[in-house]
Amino acid sequence: MKDELKSMEQNKVWDLVKLPKGCKRIGCKWVFKTKHDSHGNLEYYKARLVAKDFTKKDGVDYKETFSPVSRKDSLRIILALVAHYDLELHQMDVKTAFLNGI
């Protein structure tokens, strides 16, 4: 949790402002996961602070949403290019990624 909060602070994820009249806050919650290596051994614990988006209404609170995940089709294209051109492919884990980060 400390790493997640530190990362958010360093990347200036939010600004504290007064809530405008007629608007309601969207809550948040912590999501915890355990990550395992390829042998099933516990590797590390992961914590994410997420918004409770289920309280928002489409067209009222937001217009569109984005998900920071790749599609299977994108992965298949990359794997096909790697195989075709006999390239090497390396995997990495990004600890924190922000869409509009500096």
User: Which residue bears the tokens 């390396």?
Assistant: 90
**Nearest Cα to 31, choosing from 10, 11, 52?**
52
Determine, yes or no, domain membership for 46. Answer: yes
Determine, yes or no, domain membership for 101. Answer: no
pLDDT of residue 71: 80
Ordered per-residue pLDDT tens for the chain, 102 residues = 888 888 888 888 778 888 888 877 888 888 898 988 889 899 888 888 887 876 666 666 666 666 667 788 988 999 999 999 999 998 877 666 665 555
Determine, yes or no, domain membership for 86. Answer: no
| Phi, psi angle pair for 44, to nearest 5° | -165, 170
pLDDT of residue 102: 57
Predicted TM-score (pTM) of the model is: 0.49
Range of the domain at 49: 2-63
- Counting the structural domains of the chain, the total is 1
Determine, yes or no, domain membership for 100. Answer: no
